[in-house]
Homo-oligomer: A and B are copies of this chain.
């Protein structure tokens, strides 16, 4: 358990502190993307700023990626092991309007798009809203 977590941190060149281990633990158990405020609720006593900086560190080191699903709060999810967060590996995100959960559709790459003349593309954010399979039945 702790071994795996520390390995994961080390593999991304993140020094494994107690706080970071706890946060990564939560992120691993979490099957949907989670926001900073939501993450705060996962601990009974925790400092927002520390969590914030932990997430920023994780993101910078490509352990997690941030997701702007238009809900007003940025969410975070673990990157795939192989992920380098390059534009090619961007995937679609899904926001369920029933359960309000956000998930990575890792198997659904963002379709390529054409742009007007003289526009150049750097990145694309694509968020689909709808009802997830859990809420469907």
Using a CB–CB cutoff of 8 Å, the interface residues on chain A facing chain B are 68, 70, 92, 94, 97, 105, 107-108, 111, 113-133, 136-137
Contacts and interface: CB of A to CB of B under 8 A. Distances in A.
Copies of this chain:
2
A94 B119 contact: yes
A32 to B, nearest CB: 14
Contacts of A92: 113
A54 B94 CA distance: 31
Contact of A70 (B114, B118, B120, B125): B125
A52 to B, nearest CB: 15
11 contacts: A92-B113, A94-B119, A105-B115, A108-B113, A115-B128, A116-B133, A119-B132, A119-B136, A123-B128, A124-B126, A125-B125
